[in-house]
Chain A
Amino acid sequence: MGTPAISIKGIGKRYWLGGAVPYRAFRDTLAGALSLPGRLLAGTGRQSRREVFWALRNASFDVNPGEVVGLIGRNGAGKSTLLKILSRITDPTEGEIALRGTVSSLLEVGTGFHPELTGRENIFLNGAILGMRRDEIRFKFDEIVDFSGVAKFIDTPVKHYSSGMYTRLAFSVAAHLETDILLVDEVLAVGDAQFQRKCLGRMGEIAKGGRTVIFVSHNMAALRSLCTHAVWLEGGTVARTGTTDDVMAAYQDSIEERGDFTSTDLSSWPNRYGSGEARVVEAVLRGVDGQPARVLRYLEPAVLEFTLDSQFPDEITLSAICMTRDGMKALQLVHYDTPGFAPGVVFGRRKVRVGISSLPLQCGEYMWAIGVHGPGQTPVDVVLEVLPFSVEENPARTLRPFPSHQRNGLCSLLADWKFIEL
């Protein structure tokens, strides 16, 4: 191995919080200049108004050639910033990175696609943007078109494409990048479930092809199956590096220790609609052991609990919907599921427990929407995108050689198959 393919030493990135506004108008600068004497008199200098935020600080680690590394960590831990620095989109404030070999980055698919241009024209444009040479694109053109499955429309402007076709074509170009080092951000979360699986499959091929890859994803199951190593970022620095299993176990332990998801206070959750006469004020998701959990397993029991604070004078209906990250509804649970259970009219606080005996969801990332409705399905309170969780493969229940994550659809269950008399 010898020299690492990527060597990151003491990388830091500072942002000025004052600069967080997307742009300044000249008038602001003028106003700032005019009010400067006043502020000086008041004893507040210019510096004090601009706060500093380090998105990354003193981050160091090495990646050896051929390693496939997953970057994990909470939102805001610095994963995307690090990827942007590695792909040279933004400069580090301090530190040094050495990259051995050609680098390409995939921060989104279809960067630079122009709606007015045809599929063919966009392949060449997008290829050039991603750093492919013209001969290289020409050489791989048929392969790219083939992979995308939009051959029939290759000379149609992409503005006439369905979003699915668009994504497929865009990913196909990206999937044919051949550099020594590949940096990939959350691109696996595009398209429908079936296409995501195709992407994942292709990424798996790339990962096994001896190239050095860094993945950023919230999809733990995907990272687990793709990556040999993982780096856990926490608050802008490296918390742990090592093999995928080690680092992920430690990461998940830390989440549980912190208990920052044990129960979510939803009293001021912004993403909701309804009359508000009843409100879902708290919710929690529990795993097989009854402990709050963010990772569930396929076909294992799970529990959704939520607390209701109601002043609604009529009978209510309770429901919960499981949605994928891109908002596809995977599963709906309604209180009518339980014969004889009726919430009726609720005043004050009540806690509701929804027991799921065997979670039929396939591997992936999901979140909940919890709904309280009045008569005639009028929304009283519907909270959206709460309690994000992921579903992982359940080795004990998965039947090889067709694990659930390779199947179509969002749910799967163990059906009873046999021959019967003709």
Chain B
Amino acid sequence: MIAEPEPTTRFIRPARGLQFLDLGEMLHYRELLAYLALRDVQVRYKQTAIGVLWVVLQPALLVGAFWVFFGRLSGIYEGIGGTPYPLFALTGLLPWQYFARVLSDSGSSLVTNQRLVTRVYFPRIIVPISTAVAALVDFAIGLLLLVVVMIWYGVAPRVALLALPLPLLLLLLTSLGFGFWLAALNTEYRDVMYAMPFLVQFWMFVTPVVYPVTLVPERYRWLLGLNPMAGVTEGFRWCLLGAPAPGSLLWTSFVVASAVFMSGIAWFRSRERVFVDMLGG
């Protein structure tokens, strides 16, 4: 083995009080995180006929369907301000699909990895995080599709593109935050699994994914920000399509997402002590 440092003493004690992320430990377990994410990626499209094509096909088909139904509605047409509808919808759908996938994958992650969690020690929070990392691969491929569509419609990137890390960060915070909550809740209440499809569907309707935010009256628009996914979709459209900057909506989203993220970690860490015993041997 590689040169071993002087043995350090580690203590095992009953955990008490509020726990947050142990960053040093997370760093130590980064390889495991990578392998778990890699496993998810490797396994995802095994035994499928068209494999990774699904990543492009899914949003493409969805966009097509929404185009047929919503593309010609006058309210929507005016709201998107000249942007071709497929491009508009795709820009909203890609982050949305990422979010929806992380929500359901990380929500069920502790239960599907039950054997792992009850047999080996590692920071449990790695499990939902690894699902979010694995989903990034599909998201990146989806972005390539978006680039192709942008070229097709001759939409050139603008200066706002430099701000893309902002909505990206917001997307990650939101996805992980809700993922932590659901993952921990699911170990105690399997209702989470059953509620998930409805939750995702309902949530999509209250998020400006396939319709423009202008459908919501101006005075109530900041309220939309309370749904951080609204901030995400608006942010993406601002950076990629040159839509007007979302301003306060984005910042409200950031505040909400950060709160969900922090509380998600704290909740997860506090339930961590219980759910291993709940999951059983």
Interface residues of A (CB under 8 A from B): 15, 19, 22-27, 29, 80, 85-103, 105, 107-108, 111-112, 114, 116-117, 121, 124-125, 128-131, 133-136, 157, 178, 180
Q: Is the CB of B276 within 8 A of A89?
A: yes
Q: Count of B residues near A, CB < 8 Å?
A: 43
Q: How far is the CA of A108 from the CA of B281 in the complex (A)?
A: 11
A102 to chain B, nearest CB (A): 7
Q: How far is the CA of A6 from the CA of B2 in the complex (A)?
A: 23
Question: Contact string, B111-146, partner A, CB cutoff 8 A, digits 1/0?
Answer: 000011011111000000000000000000000000
CB-based nearest A residue for B280:
A22
User: Which residues from chain B contact A94 at a C-beta distance below 8 Å?
Assistant: 14
Q: Is the CB of B120 within 8 A of A129?
A: yes
User: Which residues from chain A contact B14 at a C-beta distance below 8 Å?
Assistant: 91-95
Q: Is the CB of B278 within 8 A of A19?
A: yes
Q: List 29 A-B contacts (CB under 8 A).
A: A19-B274, A22-B278, A22-B280, A23-B187, A23-B188, A23-B278, A25-B191, A26-B191, A27-B191, A88-B12, A89-B120, A89-B276, A91-B15, A92-B14, A93-B14, A95-B14, A99-B12, A101-B8, A112-B116, A112-B120, A116-B46, A116-B47, A121-B39, A125-B38, A128-B32, A133-B2, A136-B2, A157-B46, A178-B1
Q: How far is the CA of A2 from the CA of B234 in the complex (A)?
A: 64
Number of A-B contacts (CB under 8 A): 120
User: Which residues from chain B contact A22 at a C-beta distance below 8 Å?
Assistant: 278-280
Knowing A91-B273, A108-B119 touch, does A86 contact B12 (C-beta < 8 A)?
A: yes
User: Which residues from chain A contact B4 at a C-beta distance below 8 Å?
Assistant: 102, 180
Q: Which of B36, B187, B277, B279 has the most CB of A within 10 A?
A: B277
Q: How far is the CA of A99 from the CA of B280 in the complex (A)?
A: 25
Knowing A25-B190, A133-B31 touch, does A15 contact B10 (C-beta < 8 A)?
A: no
Knowing A22-B280, A26-B189, A111-B116 touch, does A96 contact B13 (C-beta < 8 A)?
A: yes
Given A19-B274, A92-B13, A98-B11, 20 new contacts (CB under 8 A):
A23-B190, A24-B189, A85-B12, A88-B12, A89-B118, A97-B11, A102-B7, A103-B10, A105-B120, A111-B116, A111-B120, A112-B116, A121-B42, A124-B35, A125-B38, A129-B120, A130-B120, A133-B2, A135-B2, A157-B46
B12, B36, B47: the one contacting A96 at CB < 8 Å is: B12
CB-based nearest A residue for B47:
A116
Interface residues of B (CB under 8 A from A): 1-2, 4, 7-15, 31-32, 34-36, 38-39, 42-43, 46-47, 115-116, 118-122, 187-191, 273-274, 276-281
Q: Is the CB of B188 within 8 A of A24?
A: yes
Q: How far is the CA of A108 from the CA of B35 in the complex (A)?
A: 19
User: Which residues from chain B contact A133 at a C-beta distance below 8 Å?
Assistant: 2, 31
Q: How far is the CA of A109 from the CA of B229 in the complex (A)?
A: 42
User: Which residues from chain A contact B278 at a C-beta distance below 8 Å?
Assistant: 19, 22-23
User: Which residues from chain A contact B7 at a C-beta distance below 8 Å?
Assistant: 100-102, 180
Closest 8 A/B residue pairs (Cβ): A101-B7, A88-B121, A97-B12, A128-B35, A26-B191, A111-B119, A178-B1, A128-B32
A141 to chain B, nearest CB (A): 14
User: Which residues from chain A contact B15 at a C-beta distance below 8 Å?
Assistant: 91
Q: Which of A92, A107, A128 has the most CB of B within 10 A?
A: A128
Q: How far is the CA of A27 from the CA of B116 in the complex (A)?
A: 28
User: Which residues from chain A contact B32 at a C-beta distance below 8 Å?
Assistant: 128-129, 131
Q: Is the CB of A107 within 8 A of B31?
A: no
Q: How far is the CA of A368 from the CA of B276 in the complex (A)?
A: 35
User: Which residues from chain B contact A180 at a C-beta distance below 8 Å?
Assistant: 4, 7
Q: Is the CB of A96 within 8 A of B11?
A: yes
User: Which residues from chain B contact A108 at a C-beta distance below 8 Å?
Assistant: 115, 119
Q: Is the CB of B191 within 8 A of A116?
A: no
Q: Is the CB of A90 within 8 A of B276?
A: yes
CB-based nearest B residue for A180:
B7
User: Which residues from chain B contact A157 at a C-beta distance below 8 Å?
Assistant: 46
B209 to chain A, nearest CB (A): 28
Q: Is the CB of B12 within 8 A of A92?
A: yes
Q: How far is the CA of A125 from the CA of B11 in the complex (A)?
A: 27
User: Which residues from chain A contact B35 at a C-beta distance below 8 Å?
Assistant: 124-125, 128-129
Q: Which of A89, A94, A133 has the most CB of B within 10 A?
A: A89
Q: How far is the CA of A97 from the CA of B1 in the complex (A)?
A: 26
User: Which residues from chain B contact A90 at a C-beta distance below 8 Å?
Assistant: 276-277
Knowing A25-B191, A112-B115, A114-B39 touch, does A87 contact B11 (C-beta < 8 A)?
A: no
CB-based nearest A residue for B38:
A125
CB-based nearest A residue for B111:
A23
Q: How far is the CA of A116 from the CA of B277 in the complex (A)?
A: 28
Q: How far is the CA of A128 from the CA of B32 in the complex (A)?
A: 5
Q: How far is the CA of A78 from the CA of B276 in the complex (A)?
A: 17
Q: Is the CB of B120 within 8 A of A117?
A: no
Knowing A97-B12, A105-B121 touch, does A129 contact B116 (C-beta < 8 A)?
A: yes
Knowing A19-B277, A102-B4, A111-B116 touch, does A87 contact B121 (C-beta < 8 A)?
A: yes
Q: Is the CB of A23 within 8 A of B189?
A: yes
Q: Is the CB of B42 within 8 A of A116?
A: yes
User: Which residues from chain A contact B120 at a C-beta distance below 8 Å?
Assistant: 87, 89, 105, 107, 111-112, 129-131
User: Which residues from chain A contact B190 at a C-beta distance below 8 Å?
Assistant: 23, 25
User: Which residues from chain A contact B118 at a C-beta distance below 8 Å?
Assistant: 89
Q: How far is the CA of A267 from the CA of B273 in the complex (A)?
A: 42
